[in-house]
Amino acid sequence: MKLTEKDKEFLDNLRRLMDSKNLWVEFRAGNPSYMVLRGTYGQAVHKAFRMTRQGVRWRFHRLFNDVYVSAFETILFLEKAFGTGLRDHAIRISRERYTLHQEVMSSGFQSADSLGAAQAQQAAQADTSESSETGDAD
């Protein structure tokens, strides 16, 4: 499951509120166990997240108990089947993807028209160079 920009904004706000000790995470044992967000859900929380207390709880549950835990479940499943030998490769690839994502996000919005035109130009150049290498003439 991919994280959205709203998820990133939520996590940034949550980190600030956790650092200020307004909110904290507790572990709840059960079958299955889960994490809960605790603290004062006062005006500061409403102002920081711009959503209801229930909305904050829902997004926290989705991110920490669904997305985060599921990622580790997937890793455990794969490493049980294949061992930990591929872990370094996976970590390197994920860091590269994260860096690329950050670069794309910092470059701002690009319209589909401009991206399509650039891809068409690259494809035309590739066709031209391929034709000249093989000696094909139209």
Task: Kindly state the percentage of the chain with pLDDT values over 70.
Answer: 90
What are the strands, taking DSSP E only, across the chain? 23-28, 34-39
96-105 mean pLDDT: 86
80-84 mean pLDDT: 94
Q: Report phi then psi at 83, rounded to 5.
A: 80, -175
CA count, 13 A, side-chain hemisphere, 52: 3
Band of the pLDDT at 72, cuts 50, 70, 90? very high
Structure tokens at 71: 């990622």
